[in-house]
Structure 1
Amino acid sequence: MGVEVKVEGLTKSFGSQNIWRDVSLTLPAGEVNALLGPSGTGKSVFLKTLIGLLHPEQGSVVIDGTDITECSAKELYEIRKLFGVLFQDGALFGSMTLFDNIAFPLREHTKKKEDEIRRIVLEKMELVGLAGAEGKLPGEISGGMRKRAGLARALVLNPEIILCDEPDSGLDPVRTAYISQLLIDINAEIDATILIVTHNINIARTIPDNIGMLFRKELVMFGPREQLLTSEQPVVKQFLAGDRFGPIGMSEEKDEAIAAQEAAMQAAGISGGGTQDDFSEIIPQVQPNPGVQVRKAAIRHRANVLQMLPSLPPNAQAAIRASIAEEDARAAESPESVATLVALANTDFSTTAGIDHALAQADTQVMDRPTDVVDRPTEVYATADDAQTQPIDTSAIENAVKKSDGQGE
């Protein structure tokens, strides 16, 4: 299981420039978390501080009972073995093949034999869709493939804490969806604590259990995704909507004259370019793939949400209750393929014993795998010209749809 990361009163500056101050939050053990915020608010700096690459001026970072801001270099070295890190640009060694890049942590931190290292590396490469590319150099592949190679390297030690700095950058929407799904599956399988720094609102709405947001050198809020997604704070609503009207400007401090001008434009009905999505509705969270264990983090998360529900504003309470009812309804309609939702629907959250029983059962339950699901191909194309368009056989899909309507074979 992943470990808890507790941050208290963290302050970081570079010279006279303060990056953020008095940041306090707790990443619950084994849950998926996201950190949002405008560009330049120090999100990547926060990740580097968590692993001890940067030292804060004030505050503490307690990981597995050790405050890394005060521990020795030897203790910090051991703590870092708990981490898997996906850096924003992949951070691959340019002179090494993808295989050697991904194998590097295993050779550095373990005494495994080369045949075992090869098995692990090829397994992780297949997991991220890079099978067959082990001999390529980073300069011979696309930025998206480098990002996936970086993720494979972050996973080879089966880390208890995974940090992802903008995992979607350089990826098209389809590959972003695959990476997001992969992170949920990893969380289900090894119960790792995950922190994702992202600007992708779709990821923020569908992947994490908890969300935080940095703005103007401070942590605006951190808590269950339902709390932030239903927040009435102007900066949160503006960021989620991607609108130019609001507290966030091109520079971090929006000029008062510009703010007044934009307010007048908004009052006149002029669009700020943001999405018109209804953010008062909590859309369903991504579930593990078929064949993957029930996600224990979802059980712990719902228990936390129900505990704090009475303290939330009425609009948030209504949205959360509607979301829970929808999840339970989907579980009732399709229990054979949504094991995590079934576990949530059948858990007695009013007692500690009920929650503990559900967590214990999750160790033995897996998402059922529909027989009509076909494994996706793992071919890797060096260039667009190498990809040959093939006709798609839709008979299995059509038959699966008919079966769901009671018409199939």
Structure 2
Amino acid sequence: MGVEVSVEGLTKSFGSQNIWRDVTLTLPEGEVSALLGPSGTGKSVFLKTLIGLLHPEQGSVIIDGTDITQCSAKELYEIRKLFGVLFQDGALFGSMSLFDNIAFPLREHTKKKENEVRDIVMEKIDLVGLTGAEDKLPGEISGGMRKRAGLARALVLDPQIILCDEPDSGLDPVRTAYISQLLIDINAQIDATILIVTHNINIARTIPDNIGMLFRKELVMFGPREQLLTSEQPVVKQFLSGDRFGPIGMSEEKDEAVQKQEEAMQAAGISGGGTKEDFTEIIPQVQPNPGMPERKAIARHRERVHAMLPDLPENAQEAIRRSQEQEDQIREESRAHAEDMAGGGGGRHGGDNEWTSAPAGNVAVADAKTDVIDYGGSDAPTEQWQTPGGGDALTKPSHRAADGNEGRTIQG
């Protein structure tokens, strides 16, 4: 199980430049948290302080009962074994192959034999979709591939604390969705404590249990995702909507004249370019894939949310209740699918919904929003699916696919 990370009164400066001051928060054990904030507010600096790469001027960072700001180099070395870190640029060794980069923590911190190391490394390489690229050097692959290799290295020791600095940077939206789902599945499997630094609002709205935000050298807030997503604070609302009208400017301190000019433009009906999506609705949190264990963090998180519910505005309370009902329904459906597949040898038959197994390695994946099903593999077919009559069912034309499976209907 992941361990709690407790930060108290943390202050960090570089020379005369103060980065942030008096930051206090607790990353609950086994939960996924996200840290938001405009560029240049010190989010990456905060991660590096958590693992002792940077030393704060004031405050404490207590991990597994040890204050790393006061411990010896030997104690810090041991504490760092609890961590898996995905740095913003991947931070790979340029002269090592991807395989050796990912194997490095195993060779450094364990006494495993090379055949064991290879099995673990290849498992993680496959997990992040880099099979076949293990012998390449970091300079021979794209930035997105380097980021995925960095994630594989972060996971290779099955850490209790995982820090991810902008895991979506350099990745296309589809790979970002896969990485996000992977983090949720890992949390379900090993109950690790995860902190994600991100600018991706979709990740912030759907992945973490808790969200914090840094702005103007201070922690604006930190708590359950439901609290921040329903917040009426102008800086939070502006950041979530991606609008240029608000407290956040091109520079951290918005000029008063610029702010008045923007207020006049806003009053005149001129758009600030942000999304007009209604953020009063809380999108259900992403759940582990069918067949994965249920996340233990859910019950702990729910307990805290219910305790604070009476203190929230009525519209926030209603949004939270709706989102929790939707999440419960999604979990029930996922559990039912997993039980059906387990009981039927990988497939389900009967009624209007027919599931059939695909060959090993070619697994069809779909959800209610999917238009194309990719079976995986370079020679595997890609089939178009339709939504007949505007309903929720995705239906494949009834003809035999290249893998020999008949068409079937998947309920969204």
By the TM > 0.5 criterion, same fold? yes
| In 1: Cα distance, 2:28 partner to 2:244 partner | 33
Which sections of structure 1, spanning at least 5 residues, go unmatched? 340-367, 379-386
- Which residue number corresponds to residue 200 of structure 2? 200
Give the CA deviation at 1:57: 0.3
- Which residue number corresponds to residue 400 of structure 2? none
| In 2: Cα distance, 1:112 partner to 1:242 partner | 48
Give the CA deviation at 1:303: 1.5
| In 1: Cα distance, 2:286 partner to 2:37 partner | 22
Pair 156,21 (structure 1): closer, same or farther in 2 beyond 3 Å: same
- Which residue number corresponds to residue 215 of structure 1? 215
Give the CA deviation at 1:156: 0.6
Identity %: 78
Give the CA deviation at 1:300: 1.4
Pair 337,231 (structure 1): closer, same or farther in 2 beyond 3 Å: farther
- Which residue number corresponds to residue 28 of structure 1? 28
Pair 224,119 (structure 1): closer, same or farther in 2 beyond 3 Å: same
Question: Is 2:278 the partner of 1:278?
Answer: yes
What number of residue pairs does the alignment pair up?
Answer: 369
Contact map agreement 2:290 2:335 (CA 8 A) in 1: no
Contact map agreement 1:331 1:338 (CA 8 A) in 2: no
Give the CA deviation at 1:328: 3.2
| In 2: Cα distance, 1:93 partner to 1:333 partner | 44
- Which residue number corresponds to residue 142 of structure 2? 142
- The one-letter code of the counterpart of 1:72 is S
- Which residue number corresponds to residue 13 of structure 1? 13
| In 1: Cα distance, 2:230 partner to 2:68 partner | 34
Q: Which one has more relative contact order, counting CA pairs under 8 Å at least 6 apart?
A: 1
Deviations along 1:340-390, one digit per CA (max 9) or x if unpaired, are xxxxxxxxxxxxxxxxxxxxxxxxxxxx98754757769xxxxxxxx9797
| In 1: Cα distance, 2:232 partner to 2:96 partner | 49
| In 1: Cα distance, 2:356 partner to 2:136 partner | 34
Contact map agreement 2:395 2:410 (CA 8 A) in 1: no
| In 1: Cα distance, 2:123 partner to 2:11 partner | 40
| In 1: Cα distance, 2:333 partner to 2:292 partner | 20
Secondary structure class of the residue paired with 1:105: helix
Contact map agreement 2:291 2:338 (CA 8 A) in 1: no
Pair 33,376 (structure 1): closer, same or farther in 2 beyond 3 Å: farther
TM-score by length of 1: 0.86
Root-mean-square deviation (CA, aligned residues, Å) is 2.3
Give the CA deviation at 1:314: 2.0
Q: Map 1:67-216 onto structure 2 (within 5 A).
A: 67-216=67-216
Pair 312,299 (structure 1): closer, same or farther in 2 beyond 3 Å: same
Pair 275,106 (structure 1): closer, same or farther in 2 beyond 3 Å: same
Contact map agreement 1:31 1:297 (CA 8 A) in 2: yes
TM-score by length of 2: 0.85
| In 2: Cα distance, 1:286 partner to 1:329 partner | 12
- Which residue number corresponds to residue 382 of structure 2? 392
| In 2: Cα distance, 1:179 partner to 1:404 partner | 25
| In 2: Cα distance, 1:94 partner to 1:235 partner | 40
| In 2: Cα distance, 1:219 partner to 1:373 partner | 49
Give the CA deviation at 1:222: 0.2
- Structure 1 residues 390-399 or 123-132, which shifts more? 390-399
Pair 81,332 (structure 1): closer, same or farther in 2 beyond 3 Å: closer
Secondary structure class of the residue paired with 1:337: helix
- Which residue number corresponds to residue 319 of structure 2? 319
- The one-letter code of the counterpart of 1:166 is E
- The one-letter code of the counterpart of 2:161 is I
Which sections of structure 2, spanning at least 5 residues, go unmatched? 340-345, 349-354, 364-376, 386-393, 397-405
Contact map agreement 2:289 2:334 (CA 8 A) in 1: no
- Which residue number corresponds to residue 352 of structure 1? none
| In 2: Cα distance, 1:45 partner to 1:216 partner | 14
Contact map agreement 1:287 1:338 (CA 8 A) in 2: no
More helix by share: 1
Give the CA deviation at 1:312: 1.6
Secondary structure class of the residue paired with 1:21: strand
Secondary structure class of the residue paired with 2:220: strand
- The one-letter code of the counterpart of 1:237 is K
Give the CA deviation at 1:318: 1.6
Q: 2:409 aligns with which of 386, 402, 407?
A: 402
Pair 373,86 (structure 1): closer, same or farther in 2 beyond 3 Å: farther
- The one-letter code of the counterpart of 1:8 is E
| In 1: Cα distance, 2:233 partner to 2:84 partner | 33
| In 2: Cα distance, 1:85 partner to 1:373 partner | 36
Contact map agreement 1:290 1:369 (CA 8 A) in 2: no
Q: Map 1:281-296 onto structure 2 (within 5 A).
A: 281-296=281-296
| In 2: Cα distance, 1:187 partner to 1:232 partner | 30
- Structure 1 residues 131-140 or 326-335, which shifts more? 326-335
Contact map agreement 1:50 1:61 (CA 8 A) in 2: yes
